[in-house]
Amino acid sequence: MPAIEHLRPRPSGHRSGRDRAPGFLGRMRQRRAQRDYEASVLTFAYTLKGEFRDACEYLRVCHYVSVAAGITVRTPRVGEVRVGPPISFTVELMPGQEPEDFRKPGRRMAHTLGAHGLRIEPLAGRWVRLVLLEADPLAEHFGLPPVTAGSGTETVLLGRTEDRTTLGHAIADPAHLAVQGMNGSGKSAFVYGLLAQLCAAPDVLVAGSDITGLLLGRVWDDTAHREWQVVGTHDLEAHAALLEQLVAEMDRRLATIPRREDKITPTVTVPTVLVVLEEFPGLLRAAGAVPKPKSGKSLAERIVSAQLRLLSEGRKAAFRVLTLAQRFEATAVGGGYARDQFALRLSFRVPADSLAMLHGDDARPFGQEHANADPGIAYLSGLGRDCERIRVPHLGDYGEYVDRIQSYGRRAES
């Protein structure tokens, strides 16, 4: 129960026949009940303001002011309080504050007030409304609509935030994607939905390496994408050869960038190439077991070298890399430089240190809770947003993924 929930005023919805009866005594009882309710609203608002001030001071959402007597603390002023449900109140931002300043400590502030989360709604001027969420807004699943992108410049659905903002991303935008998560956390299911939205776009080519054979592979048979995909571990040389072929295509594009331009503009004939690297650490481990030739690079070195080229130079040539791993340790994904190239990052259920490893120290306070997150819940950073929880759309079972790729996947020109 919320810390202040027991104080929330609740006007009675039932009145006895005596209270409804006309006359002097009936009117007096109604007025007394109204006065009692109004007094309870004031008590509730006073208590909430005090709890909010204490939370702001502890979480340092405040100003420290030096006065003659020492240090005094200024906290944001609370205006209107609504008893709800849901409980909400307006807050006047102090000089230098932004609405986003409440987002990072929002969950801890909400827990202080006994709620699950906090939704921030900017109002006019320096005022915001803070809404206390009594239940996890991401607990409810939502399905992926049966739509596909008509172009790589169109946004595809990534997920929904705790304040019910829908996040989208255009694959043509210059950002590589990193996705990590433990087995069963929803990592692969999320990418199923992402690729199902992109498979029909005439200016997108889905290429890549998949040692599992589930994400890419037979599901893409008879589509224009299939010849640019390698699956399984029976021929590890083919994975290296494909990545080197993609690097060669990238170099060809870079050499043909028009004068007075600094990047390739994707078209149907020169599509955005999405290079999917499913379970990339597993590919490197398998390649590392292959004996190194007497001359030249080892198989693992060739794969890492090609990946680094695509990550560092691919943006200008309309190449985007999507790498999946259970943990984004630097040694597992080709080094710290490779990990730093991902502008859009999603973490499904992972150990606490893995969350900070990919998203930075700002994500560390969320690590313990996220280590037990439900499937389909992820932390996202990028798109100009700080690290925040999202619920990704649910495509369905694997058969639905197969059906969508087979139904909508772009066919090769005859």
Alpha helix positions (H), 256-381: 280-288, 299-313, 336-340, 352-359, 367-370
Tell me the C-alpha distance between 238 and 209, whole Å: 9
Q: Does the annotation flag 185 for ligand binding?
A: yes
* β-strand partners of 119: 131
φ, ψ at 43 (rounded to 5°) = -65, -45
> What 8-state DSSP symbol labels residue 143?
B
Which H or E run contains 392?
A: none
181 is in an annotated binding site: yes
Is 307:338 a contact under the CB 8 Å cutoff?
yes
CB neighbours of residue 71 within 10 Å: 8
> Is the peptide bond between 85 and the residue preceding it cis, with omega within 30 degrees of 0?
yes
407 annotated binding-site participant: no
Q: Is the peptide bond before 22 cis (omega within 30 degrees of 0)?
A: no
Q: At what angle do helices 280-288 and 236-255 cross, to 10 degrees?
A: 120
Alpha helices in 97-207 (DSSP H): 106-112, 187-198
188 is in an annotated binding site: yes
* Residue 182, annotated as binding a ligand: yes
The amino acid at residue 394 is H
Check the CA dihedral 380-381-384-388 and report its sign.
positive
The closest of 225, 253, 224, 229 to 241, measured between CA atoms, is 229
Are the C-beta atoms of residues 392 and 159 closer than 8 Å to each other?
yes
Binding site, by residue number, is 181-188
Binding site for ATP, by residue number, is 181-188
